[in-house]
Amino acid sequence: MPSTTQTSTSAPQAKVAQAPALQTAARSPASTTKFDLKWSPVAGEVAPIIEVCPLQYGKTWAYSVEIDDGPASTLSVVAPLLEGFSFSDAPPGMSGGKAHPFVGGAAIYLARFDSGNPTLLSRKDTALLRARGWGMLNHSYWHSGNHWDKTQANTPEQFRRELFWSQCLWPDVVGGGRAATHFVYPNGDPGYGKYLSEFGLASASRVGGASPHRADGSAVWGDLDRNYLDEGVWSQSNNALAGLSESPKAGDFTIDFTHGIEAPGSINYKRWQTRLEHIAGKWGAKGEDSLWCAPTDAVVDYARAAAVARVSAKVGGVHVELPPDVPGSALTLHLRGLDKRAHLVAPVGGALFRQGDQAWITTPVLGQVGVKPPAKLKCVWRGPVGDVTLDALHKIAGVRVLQQGDAGTQWKMSIQVGSEGGPLTEIVAPDKAVLGQGWGTWQLFPIVPDRQAITAQSIHATPNKVFAQMEVWVLDE
Ligand SMILES: [Zn+2]
């Protein structure tokens, strides 16, 4: 269990700073929200009937794997294991599809991400995972909050601070250009639920979630349930197929969750192999090929986009449009009554399958993947902890320092900010000044969203040999 602490400040009112829209590029090379596929009309052709498939590639059900807390084994063990299994981009029952490996989602909390701790994921690792089709799921900044222990319960300000900072740093620190759409409840605490939409998060998951296992209109996106597959729990049932449906129905959505998969050859690894062999053998490319395996955020983004996409078909073409504020997704279109003589060409970055008078067209990603962060922040200074003079006056949003060692129980952290010759303001709350141990922890001392950003050019931070680095984050206005 993670044990990072959350920095608090004295001001009780949370006020989220407003910032202009992000200009950065999304993961999709073309961020257009429109898609057209045209063909030469043939004599006597009538417009086909068009609808958006409930799941990508016209698949029957969706399967996601979530790895909690960002262990390095996500890249070294889990990704290679999942990649041993595949589904195709063809609709169930049709041959000729391109194979896609099974992938998962990494739930990351930023206090312990890219912190020099070799047992945890780094930025380089998440870039590699992304390139292999993995999703990055927001798991807060500090991993605070606990609904079953009142002494660790978060206040509304703490929930907001967690969501504000994790979403604001996400585009830069975790990468991908935009903030996350899916949240994983730290300690399973659903107390975050009512604040999610304020910070652009559309869905969340935990063990014991109230949602039926569906990826359609009946889903409770903010309370998705998942199978708890940590070895200690899983070994008790001794059932490799625990929580799996024997015959998934159209629109079903299963999420498996663990804090990690143990080394190849271990009992835990073999249990996973048995489970994945069953899933892939029955519903993957070598079986019915009815399964879509994707990160949780991709499944939810798809379902939400499918629900609001405007589609039309006419003689010689189809048109799709996503409302501009919807997180980007590919979409699979199903055409019926298509003239068999019509010559359709698969879209670049998508797929096309035909059978009789039907066609399934998967578009490239439409729109921008992810969401705009709640405020646009940028890091204007990165270097050793100490006295810093910035290039100009900036609106300081917060400072974070990378701790790699034991700062003791007496030593106190101080960070003062101000302008040259002017008064200095201490930004480390008195109850957060003693840092104790931190073997790879990004200690964050926030000013926003609880208070207004402080306009300053000088930063005076108390150095300590346990610090590896300091970052100064400002409002980018
Ligand atoms: Zn966690």
Q: Please write the tens of the pLDDT for every residue from 403-420.
A: 999 999 999 999 999 987
150: helix, strand or coil: helix
CATH of domain 377-475: 2.60.120.260
The domains spanning 10-374 and 377-475 adopt the same CATH topology = no
Tokens of 67: 């790895």
Q: Average pLDDT in the 263-268 region?
A: 98
Tokens of 76: 């070294």
Helix, strand, coil % in the chain, rounded to nearest 5: 20, 30, 50
Q: Is the pLDDT of residue 78 over 70?
A: yes
For residue 146, how far is its CA from the centre of ligand 1 (angstroms)?
11
Cβ atoms 182, 253 nearer than 8 A = no
For residue 184, how far is its CA from the centre of ligand 1 (angstroms)?
8
Cβ atoms 7, 429 nearer than 8 A = yes
For residue 97, how far is its CA from the centre of ligand 1 (angstroms)?
36
Cβ atoms 165, 110 nearer than 8 A = yes
Q: What is the dihedral of CA 229, 231, 233, 236, to 10 degrees?
A: 120
For residue 193, how far is its CA from the centre of ligand 1 (angstroms)?
16
**Superfamily, domain 10-374:** Glycoside hydrolase/deacetylase (3.20.20.370)
Q: What is the pLDDT of residue 232?
A: 95
Domains of the chain by residue range: 10-374, 377-475
Cβ atoms 473, 398 nearer than 8 A = yes
For residue 140, how far is its CA from the centre of ligand 1 (angstroms)?
9
For residue 429, how far is its CA from the centre of ligand 1 (angstroms)?
25
Q: Is the pLDDT of residue 14 over 90?
A: no
Strand 105-108 versus strand 291-293 pairing type: unpaired
How far, in Å, CA of 64 to CA of 205, rounded? Answer: 11
Q: What is the pLDDT of residue 240?
A: 97
Q: What is the pLDDT of residue 31?
A: 62
Helical spans, DSSP H, in 381-444 = none
* Of 235, 320, 241, 328, residue with least CA distance to 276: 241
Residues with CB under 5 A from ligand 1 (ion): 68-69
Q: Is the pLDDT of residue 166 over 70?
A: yes
Q: What is the pLDDT of residue 19?
A: 34
For residue 173, how far is its CA from the centre of ligand 1 (angstroms)?
18
Q: What mean pLDDT is reported for the chain? A: 93
For residue 12, how far is its CA from the centre of ligand 1 (angstroms)?
27
AA identity, residue 401: V
Q: What is the DSSP string of 207-245?
A: TT-SS-SBSSTT--GGGEE-EE--HHHHHHHT-TTTT--
Tens digit of each residue's pLDDT (9 = 90 or more) over 354-375? 999 999 999 999 999 999 999 9
387: helix, strand or coil: strand
C-alpha distances out from residue 235 to 68, 228, 242, 246, 267, Å: 18, 11, 10, 20, 9
Which pLDDT band, with edges at 50, 70 and 90, does 28 fall under? very low
